[in-house]
Amino acid sequence: MSIAEVSVEAADHAARERRVAVVTGAAGGIGLSIAERLAADGFAVAVIGRTPGTAAAAADAINANGGVARGYDADVADREQVDAALAAIRADLGAVSVVVANAAVAPQQAFLEMTLDQWNTVLGINLTGTFNTVQASLPDLIDAGWGRVILISSSSAQRGAPRMAHYAASKGGQMAMTKALAVEFGKAGITVNTVAPSSVDTPSVAKKRAAGTIPSADDMAKFIPVGRVGVGEDIAAAVSYLVSDQAGYVTGQTLSVNGGSFIG
Ligand SMILES: NC(=O)c1ccc[n+]([C@@H]2O[C@H](COP(=O)([O-])OP(=O)(O)OC[C@H]3O[C@@H](n4cnc5c(N)ncnc54)[C@H](O)[C@@H]3O)[C@@H](O)[C@H]2O)c1
């Protein structure tokens, strides 16, 4: 066996000794921060991204920092793609223990001009995508008698958001789903929780700022009790706690990570 083969085998062995965490929409933004944090916590992380190649690049960066990660391309709204990604994850890394449904789109559209297609697209990615991801992963968690499911929702579902009825509805659906799954799978050793961010600086938010559709970070910070907008690491820290062994008595909850702003 060559040195390269030995090191690939050693890496595979290292991956298989770790709990496997799947994070969707993790090629950038909050999802990437969550993937990086879970890798630092010792999980083997399956990074799922929609744009081909972006998840692999994110995983490469995590591996270069000493973590264990692999990238998979899948559109979470497409069940066949999600099932194929999960099959590849099981083959590469082993059974899944942690699922983080983070992938989402957040377009703005006045309600009276919102088309059924626009409504269905947002619900299809944000809510049905969550259904696809969680349902495709859950058999592994049930088999192990231990698991953690985290849905990344939004303060928009708690306080409303103009021109985002589709988005707010999808995020409220995640919160309701969290409660339903928590009671359905509690005795199977699985906890299910939501993290609800608000005003987190990510590249997609920066684009909206540049387009002038949302206020600047400084203007937003004036209305946030802790005096700053959030960063991906703030959300990742909450996820890190909720997926830990010591969070085993916390389920069906929404943890609002919002600097003290708004409600919830
Ligand atoms: N940034 C914020 O201020 C904020 C506030 C509240 C909630 N959130 C939530 O946090 C999560 C991450 O948000 P973000 O700001 O990092 O957004 P983002 O747009 O930077 O990241 C979302 C990721 O999901 C991916 N994605 C989109 N559609 C997908 C699909 N069909 N299949 C697979 N991947 C897909 C995108 O490619 C992207 O990488 C989302 O669920 C969002 O609703 C963010």
Nearest Cα neighbor of 127 from 190, 172, 83, 184 is 172
Residue 262 confidence (pLDDT): 63
Query: How far apart are the CA of 9 and the centre of ligand 1, in A?
Result: 34
Neighbours of 50 (CB within 10 A): 20
pLDDT of residue 264: 46
Residue nearest (by alpha carbon) to ligand 1 atom 21: 29
Closest ligand 1 atom to Cα of 171 = 43
Q: What is the reported pLDDT for 208?
A: 87
State if residue 71 touches ligand 1 by the CB under 6 angstroms criterion: no
From the candidates 72, 167, 241, 249, give the one annotated as an active-site residue: 167
Q: Is the CB of 103 under 6 A from ligand 1?
A: yes
Q: Are strands 68-73 and 190-197 parallel, antiparallel or unpaired?
A: unpaired
**Residues 90 and 13: beta-carbon distance below 8 Å:** no
Domain layout of the chain by residue ranges: 3-195+232-257
Alpha carbon distance 23, 98 (integer Å): 8
C-beta of 170 in contact with ligand 1 (< 6 A): no
pLDDT digits (tens, 9 = 90+) for 50-90: 999 999 999 999 999 999 999 999 999 999 999 999 999 99
Q: Is 222 strand, coil or helix?
A: coil
Q: Is the CB of 57 under 6 A from ligand 1?
A: no
Domain 3-195+232-257 has CATH 3.40.50.720: yes
Q: Which of 33, 34, 102, 155 to mutate to test the pocket of ligand 1 (most atoms within 8 A of CB)?
A: 102
Question: How many angstroms separate the alpha carbon of residue 153 from the centre of ligand 1?
Answer: 10
**What is the reported pLDDT for 83?**
98
Alpha-carbon distances of 163 from 47, 104, 118, 198, 242, rounded to whole Å:
30, 16, 12, 16, 31
Which atom of ligand 1 approaches the CA of 197 most closely?
A: 6
Q: Which residues contact 220 (CB under 8 A, 6 or more apart)?
A: 199, 214, 229
Whole-model pTM: value is: 0.94
Is 72 tagged catalytic?
no
Burial of 52 (0-12, 13-18, 19+ CB in 10 A): exposed
Dihedral angle, C-alpha 102, 107, 108, 114, nearest 10 °: -110
Per-residue pLDDT of the chain (264 residues; tens, 9 = 90+): 565 565 656 555 555 679 999 999 999 999 999 999 999 999 999 999 999 999 999 999 999 999 999 999 999 999 999 999 999 999 999 999 999 999 999 999 999 999 999 999 999 999 999 999 999 999 999 999 999 999 999 999 999 999 999 999 999 999 999 999 999 999 999 999 999 999 999 998 989 889 988 899 999 999 999 999 999 999 999 999 999 999 999 999 999 999 998 654
Q: Is 54 in the pocket of ligand 1 (CB under 6 A)?
A: no
Q: What is the dihedral of CA 199, 114, 121, 229, to 10 degrees?
A: 0
pLDDT of residue 68: 98
Q: What atom of ligand 1 comes closest to residue 101's alpha carbon?
A: 41
